[in-house]
Amino acid sequence: MTVALALVVSLSSPAFAVSKYKVLHHFGAGQDSNTPSGPLTLGEKGRLYGLTYGGGPQNSGSVYQLAPGSGGKWAEKILHAFAGGSDGGIPWGGVIVDSAGSLYGTVQGDGNREVGGVFELHRGSGGWNNVILYSNNAGPGVVLDKLGNLYGEVGPGNYFHIGAIGELSPGSDGWVYTDLANFNPRSVIHPRLRRSGTAKAICLAPPLTAESVSQPAGPATVAESFSR
């Protein structure tokens, strides 16, 4: 079974608006990855980046790129097929792109604690290299601020795996994790998320405002970008 990735573009004029539907790529044929998931991210030169749940040698999912070509055709390229184990597997929540062109996202299994992790995919001399930056609970996707810090549903939570909101900051000795808000009712909320001392203090707003964070583009955002 193949799955198609499509783009809806709205063209507006003073008199009327027309929506055009176009299939960019059919997944699942031959050795291709399958079951695309999460939002798409628009990168340089109009390229689209996304994730699949399945595909690859271990059927552990992949990160793919779709690049526009001549004649309105799009070319797919698998940047990385997850191998499971220490390489991670089953990515979800989409990817984000930083100013250097590196991609970041989360996997549901990282091979170590088997509870997920945060990965970075960066260009190397021999292609794209995958690195697990953080190995513990990780929800779908992360967001990036202007300083290169990552935020998301990342963190140890408590022994019931309730979860946490965490920050990953690049440092000279690797990435440093900070627990901003742990959803264990008895935990202490980080000052950056504290508003009133009540339960309402646990929220995403302070570190994840539109002014400081570039969120992954959803389908509507991608379509809007292509219509201009």
pLDDT tens profile 52-64: 988 888 889 999 9
Domain ranges of the chain: 3-219
Mean pLDDT of 154-173: 76
The pLDDT value given to residue 52:
94
Q: Which residue has better confidence, 186 or 92?
A: 92
Mean pLDDT of 77-87: 91
The pLDDT value given to residue 106:
94
Cβ distance 156 to 127 under 8 Å?
Answer: no
User: d(Cα 174, Cα 134) in Å, to the nearest integer?
Assistant: 10
Tell me the two tokens of residue 197. Answer: 């001392």
Cβ distance 39 to 16 under 8 Å?
Answer: no
Phi and psi, residue 146, nearest 5°:
-70, -20
The pLDDT value given to residue 94:
93
pTM (two decimals): 0.73
pLDDT band at 130 (very low <50, low <70, confident <90, very high): very high
Longest dimension (CA), the chain: 59
The pLDDT value given to residue 14:
55
Nearest CA to 129 out of 105, 102, 156 is that of 102
Task: Give, in words, the CATH class of 3-219.
Answer: mainly beta
Angle at 4 between CA 28 and CA 76, to 5 degrees: 65
Averaged pLDDT of the chain: 75
The pLDDT value given to residue 91:
93
Cβ distance 92 to 60 under 8 Å?
Answer: no
| Per-residue pLDDT tens over the stretch 168-205 | 999 888 899 998 887 765 554 554 444 433 333 333 33
The pLDDT value given to residue 33:
87
